[in-house]
Amino acid sequence: MTLRVECYSGYKAEERPLRFRLGGQDHSVEAVLDQWHSPDATYFKVRSDDGNIYVLRHTVSPQQDGWTLESFRRR
pLDDT digits (tens, 9 = 90+) for 23-62: 899 999 999 999 999 988 999 999 999 999 999 999 877 7
pLDDT at 40: 87
Determine the Cα–Cα distance for residues 19 and 45; give it in Å rounded to an integer: 13
Tell me phi and psi for residue 51, to 5 degrees: 85, -5
Q: Say whether pTM exceeds 0.75.
A: yes
Q: Average pLDDT for residues 61-73, to the nearest whole number?
A: 85
